[in-house]
Chain A
Amino acid sequence: MDGFLRLITLQDSSTRTVLVGTVILGIAAAIVGTFAVLRRRALVGDAAAHAALPGTCVAFFVVGDRSFAGFMLGALLFALLAAAFVAFVKSATRVKEDAAIGLAIGGFFGFGIVLSRIIQRHPTGNKAGLDSFIFGKAASMIESDVRLIAIVAAIVVAVVLLLYKEFTLLCFDRDFAQSQGWPATALDLILMTLICGCTVIGLPAVGVVLVVSMLVLPPVAARFWSDRLSTVVILSAIFGALAAFLGTAISATAPVPGIAGFSNSGWPTGPIITIVSASIFILSMLIAPRRGVLAAGLRAFLLRRRIGLQNLLRSVYEHLEPGGDLGRPWAIGAAGEHSAAAPRAHRAGLITTNQDGRFQLTHAGQQAASELVRVHRLWELFLIEQAAIAPDHVDRDADQIEHLLPAAVLAELEERLQQTGRMPIGPSVVPTSPHPTMGPP
């Protein structure tokens, strides 16, 4: 815990480098990832990541073991090759996108594994190479590596911000963009290059299998919190940075069974960053106020309860209406099937029980009930008049719509019924129901 606190307050110089590297990466990947997800290109990023393996192997053959930049370049070239391959297969054959991506992942990665085997037998080959490529080895990032990552990340973010409106247009409506004269294919290519670039600089930190999660998870989590693109992009960057920061810190300091402290045998960074990112996503999915699952469930539940109560009041009203006296008591079973809402109606002061054990409407209840019925019958009239629905079918439709109408629409409805002379009586009196209601027992 001590080590963790030291780490997150950036007191430990050796880990500071790593932290800076992964956070910069997290931000860049999240920003690019937002557009990748909106453009539905996120999985092509996965293919690009897998294609990076043969890329780094080829780079090894060309420039040897020492050049980090060389590895990145080789990785980038093959990543772009894989993206181009997917695009080609999609356009030139009947193979669909998901199959094309599968082809790319399998083909390139398989080829890469063969190459890396060859390298491992090579006298100057790095034995641990494949493992750290797959899982990431942030702990062995040195300052020059981080500098390169930072430069590339800065370029990537700068290009996204420069081309913000162009990418927004491309992702939203490609045809419209083209009709305005924007070079949609070129823009797609640029976006793809940015995705590949982010993928490639992410490899040393989190490894090939999980780098796509740094592109996808933050924007998807951010989407739950906002309906505005600019907010989604910013939130996505924050989530990406947070996941990278916490993930790196935890992976460096969390005790590995049998091994303590920050060392090269700590947890691999990739999976921990991904777990933190996924946790942010799950939390967002659950608790986000408007689009979150819990909020939606609560809204649906409250709406059902509200409808239940309103149905009760309406059926009570229609039961009492023929007798002319809304205040008289009735036996609960006679007023319809919605008595499950009766306890709540009692608590809300709309219904009371008299000495005989029979229910009756309070003054507030009478007001609420007649208002509800007025609105309901206005809709019925409207649907019959304007939408040509047979009167017997009306009740069900009016039921649903009425509970979702805002007050302004209701006012307009009344006005229109008044104008067409279909509003039979004044605003405080209830229009006669156009289909037979249940009378007294």
Chain B
Amino acid sequence: MIHASPPAQSAPATTVAVEVHDVTVAYQRKPVLWDVDVNIPAAKLTAIVGPNGAGKSTLLKAILGLVPLASGRVEIFGKPLRRARSLIGYVPQRETVDWDFPVSALDVVLMGRYGHLGWFARPKTSDRDLAMESLRKVAMVEFASRQISELSGGQQQRVFLARALAQQAELYFMDEPFAGVDAATEKAIVDVLRDLRAQGKTVVAVHHDLQTVPEYFDHVLLLNMRLVASGSIDECFTQANLQRTYGGRLTLLDEAAEAVRLGRVRR
């Protein structure tokens, strides 16, 4: 295993929400995540940060079991994924969905309750009430019966967030929740995040805007195919670490990956 330099980590928090052990993910022969080993602390807001193509979304999907791991394993609150499903909420990227689908905002938020319902069961009144409450938390109650294609990008993002809130999870994964949203939505999302932290929930979010990382989050995970650094904002979100994450020239690891892909090196 090649490390450009050992990943820097601050002292582990008292409880760990997600343990990522030596995870490698590869598409065909090109590695996307390489030997990522990190503990994400509970009851904190953690940002995953890195340049385009760094594998940030892939890391989320790998943790959630949506992409296969070439090697390594993941534990959530000390349990394997399949036993921790009910503890997880997920806000995927908006682009993954066809917004012309014939459902209303409330229908989408109700889908957050499906995990608790089990096979064949229909949502109950209590589920509907919870869904409406989630919409209220993101200031979207007036849009409950609106078809989702009539919503703006920011409103769609808030509906996705409400859906995750309806899952009533302990740990929330969010993939670029602030991407392309208006100022009002950004504020609404930040309020929800702070609310979640006050309740002791954990949030792990892929975030693209370096400016707002120290303002919105407590912890940061710097990723560029491999883990560059992880820890509290104060200790980790430094110029040196950012330079190592976003540095312009190809790192030793990237050159090696290229060589493998082109078949010049036998693995």
Contacts and interface: CB of A to CB of B under 8 A. Distances in A.
Given A178-B65, A178-B66, A232 B102 contact: yes
Select the residue from B65, B103, B117, B121 with max chain A CB neighbours within 10 A.
B103
Contact of B114 (A178, A180, A228): A180
Instruction: Bin chain B's interface residue count.
Output: 20 to 34
A173 B97 contact: yes
Interface in A163-214: 163, 165-166, 168-169, 171-173, 175-182
Interface residues of A, number: 25
B115 A227 contact: no
Given A175-B96, A229-B107, A169 B101 contact: no
Mostly, the A contact residues are: helix
A314 interface: no
B141 interface: no
A223 interface: yes
Given A166-B119, A179-B66, A179-B88, A171 B101 contact: yes
A433 interface: no
B168 to A, nearest CB: 12
Nearest to A161: B120
Interface string A410-431: 0000000000000000000000
B36 interface: no
A323 B134 CA distance: 55
B96 A181 contact: no
Interface string B88-119: 10101000111001111001100100110101
A165 B123 contact: yes
Given A172-B101, A173-B96, A180-B114, A163 B107 contact: no
Nearest to A181: B85
A177 B82 CA distance: 13
B147 A172 contact: no
Given A162-B120, A165-B122, A181-B82, A176 B102 contact: no
Contacts of A140: none
Select the residue from A38, A162, A176 with max chain B CB neighbours within 10 A.
A176
A273 B114 CA distance: 38
Contact of B101 (A38, A166, A180): A38
Nearest to A178: B66
A172 B97 contact: yes
Contacts of B98: 172
Contacts of A166: 114, 119
A180 B119 contact: no
Contacts of A231: 102
A339 interface: no
A320 B97 CA distance: 52
Nearest to B173: A179
Contact of A227 (B61, B65, B88, B102): B102
Contacts of B96: 173, 175
Given A180-B85, A181-B85, A173 B102 contact: no
Nearest to A219: B102
Contact of A172 (B108, B120, B122): B108
* 6 closest residue pairs by CB, A with B: A180-B115, A181-B85, A227-B147, A179-B90, A229-B102, A179-B64
Given A165-B114, A173-B92, A178-B66, 18 more contacts: A38-B101, A162-B120, A165-B121, A165-B122, A172-B101, A172-B111, A175-B66, A175-B92, A179-B66, A179-B92, A179-B173, A180-B114, A180-B167, A181-B85, A226-B102, A229-B101, A229-B102, A232-B102
Interface of B: 61, 64-66, 82, 85-86, 88, 90, 92, 96-98, 101-104, 107-108, 111, 114-115, 117, 119-123, 147, 163, 167, 173
25 contacts: A162-B120, A163-B120, A165-B111, A165-B114, A165-B117, A165-B122, A168-B103, A171-B101, A172-B97, A175-B61, A175-B92, A176-B111, A176-B163, A178-B65, A178-B66, A179-B90, A180-B90, A180-B114, A180-B167, A181-B85, A182-B114, A227-B102, A229-B102, A229-B103, A229-B107
